[in-house]
Structure 1
Amino acid sequence: MMNMVKIGIIGTGGIARAHVSAYRKLPFVQIVAAADVIPGRAREFAEREGLTDAAAYDSHTELLAADLDGVSICTPNVSHHRTAVDSLRAGKQVLLEKPMSVTLAEALDMVKAAKESDRMLSIGFQPRYDPNMKRLQEIVQSGRLGQVYYVETGGGRRRGMPGGTFISKTLAGAGAMADIGCYSLDMALNTLGYPRPLTVSAFTANHFGTNPLYHPEANKFEVEDFGVAMVRFENDLTLQFKISWAMHMDTLGATMFLGTDAGLKVTPAGSGPWSGVWDGAIGSMTMFHDDFGGHTSTEVPLIGHQLNLFDEKVRDFAEAVRDGRPAPIPGEQILIQQAIIDGVLRSADLRREVSVQLPV
């Protein structure tokens, strides 16, 4: 008989519905509880989603006292640290929506809690499940490009600024960097095997978010809507990172991996004003190399698939809980990009290069 995995949902906003939808497709998963800090909201959520047998709580601590194997944390960024640490210490396996945390100190504390409790902390980066993203990693790590010495990544929306909790520095920690920039960083860093960063030199701005011509909550806009950074890594690798929620431009360009033997240009899938960032699938891959005494390029064939990447992320976590596997996207990895984002914000504030702060 299949072992049922009992799951609780912490935070019942929009992203929680996607988690419920994904879990319901798995015959070995039972959603047994939901919690939200707004009184009555968890019960309304459970009824609306047809979770008739699920318990509803007004705090995550009450939910964690229930008989659960794991939780999906779908709360605002500012709540990620407390709910994740409490869940891990309560012996639950954790799937945490991105970004990992508001501050680097919080991310460090979460990774420490996972290690001490011997529980998994997996972070929700569904683009990793695109088969073409896996092919990209295979190409780069195969050595086909030679030594990779420069990477350029990021993305930009001509218009695509959220509101609410996303634009509060207290609640979100950062703006475009944390919201969509974290996808760009994970795409590049995971492809490279998460090298260790050394320094960051960065600039950020919020010219659009604070202008009432472009944002209806301009008077509440506290975070960056644009950022650019140069990150130096060990082994003579440099990464240029750029991200924008809004701009007077159609694109910030493709992601590029420059190597001593070949280069690779990668573009994201999708079209429209909210596209152009690495929160989905790959649209094209082109390798540039020299052959037969001249310059040439090769289109890398894309793998056709009908996968729902978000569903794949949730399925992988649920199967890891069931089978006792390690975290599919471990917090220890994402801690590195949190350190880079922390460095970006410090460098922009100080207007100079800073060292990336990571544990030895």
Structure 2
Amino acid sequence: MSGMTNAARTIRIGIIGSGGIARAHVAAYKTIEHAEIVAVADVFPGKAQEFIEANGLTGAQAFENHRALLELDLDGVSVCTPNVAHFQPTVDALRAGKQVLLEKPMSVTLEEAVEMVHVSRQTGNMLSIGFQPRYDPNMDIIRNIVQSGQLGNVYYVETGGGRRRGMPRGTFVRKELAGAGAMADIGCYSLDMALNALGYPKPLSVSAYTSNFFGTNPQHHPESDRFDVEDFGVALVRLEGGIALNFKISWAMHMDTLGATMFLGSEGGLKITPAGKGPWSGVWDGKVGSITLFHDVLGHQTESPIPIREHNVNLFHEKVKDFVSAIREGRSAPIPGEQIVYNQAIIDGVLRSSELKREVEISLPNL
């Protein structure tokens, strides 16, 4: 590669884990010029090779051990394993000198999330977490309004979402593999939307309730006999700066919506609805539907619709492209683990509070 400009240098990528989300990563990498998937690892014998052949990754090497994959000359890796297996491949990749794009949720425990951030800092290698909704240009509008001061002192935020019916299967519904259910699967998106707009204030305490009436009912889920995660959760989270966060999420319910996301401030309020229709919609894993600013103008209570930026951006592809660009340009992580560890701390707090049936404090070390 001598004589090539940095812009033309091929970025060599490894994929760890070859499930459904890995296919989405492959599709994105294939759209990026001068990016090449050179290796795939999966612990199940033969699965990595099958994945390579099925996805036309000519020349890529197959491994059954991610550590063997990390011995290759790689620029970056996508960690696409089940949630419970996020931690070890990530820290091993960082210590092996690779840049890491880790699928959400960050981890299954707060301790794992903190350790990943520490290793990233110790090694100087990038740890970026896969929250593709950030690449909707309307998310920038929301953050800019909240950060602009137009709302005054923001004191209350309500976020989350609910599917009338939209429960996944397989690894998503088994605690031993997923760590958590709806909170980790789609709730993390809602948290990122709100916390990113606020500038990621530190969470202080959580009082929460969770249930799984739908997932454990054979009338509603074909894997009810092994469904042992939450399909509904609600929490009051106290944030630094005197902000109360009402967080709620549901995979299934007898209701059409759990409401819009709202930011209430002393000088104004912001209401945001998600785009999409149907039983799997109503959560913040896709596009923005509407944005409305509530404020007073010359003593009149006024509602100002904020124009939505219509786009055909493939948000998932943008996430992967930004990761590759960050590697090429030597930039810091597009969605840094230092932020998402707060997201993980809230989910951890929700699960602890629900189990103990009381409010719990969130204790975070200095990062």
Is TM (by shorter chain) over 0.5?
yes
Q: Residue in 2 aligned with 1:340?
A: 346
TM-score, normalised to structure 1, is: 0.99
Q: Any residues of structure 2 matched to 1:70-219 within 5 Å, and which?
A: 70-219=76-225
Q: After TM superposition, give the deviation of residue 48 of structure 1 in Å.
A: 1.2
Q: Which runs of 4+ in 1 moved over 3 A?
A: none
TM-score, normalised to structure 2, is: 0.97
Kindly tell me the number of residue pairs found equivalent between the two proteins.
Answer: 360
Matches of 2:141 and 2:293 in 1, distance apart? 13
Structure 2: which amino acid aligns with 1:315?
Answer: K
Q: Residue in 2 aligned with 1:256?
A: 262
Q: SS at 1:222's partner residue?
A: coil
**1:239 matched to 2:268:** no
Unaligned 5+ segments in structure 2 are: none
After superposition, the C-alpha distances for 1:71-115 in whole angstroms (9 at most, x for unaligned) are: 001110011001101111111100000000011111111111111
Larger mean CA deviation between 146-155 and 12-21 belongs to 12-21
Q: SS at 2:347's partner residue?
A: helix
**1:317 matched to 2:323:** yes
Is the Cα contact below 8 Å between 1:152 and 1:240 reproduced in 2? yes
After superposition, the C-alpha distances for 1:152-200 in whole angstroms (9 at most, x for unaligned) are: 0000000111121111111111100000000000000001000011111
Structure 1: which amino acid aligns with 2:82?
Answer: P
CA RMSD, 1 decimal: 0.8
Is the Cα contact below 8 Å between 1:343 and 1:357 reproduced in 2? no
**1:288 matched to 2:294:** yes
Q: Residue in 2 aligned with 1:47?
A: 53
Unaligned 5+ segments in structure 1 are: none
Q: SS at 2:214's partner residue?
A: coil
Q: Residue in 1 aligned with 2:70?
A: 64
Identity between Structure 1 and Structure 2 (%): 68
Q: After TM superposition, give the deviation of residue 293 of structure 1 in Å.
A: 2.0
Q: After TM superposition, give the deviation of residue 37 of structure 1 in Å.
A: 0.8
Matches of 1:71 and 1:248 in 2, distance apart? 41
Q: After TM superposition, give the deviation of residue 205 of structure 1 in Å.
A: 0.5
Q: SS at 2:273's partner residue?
A: strand
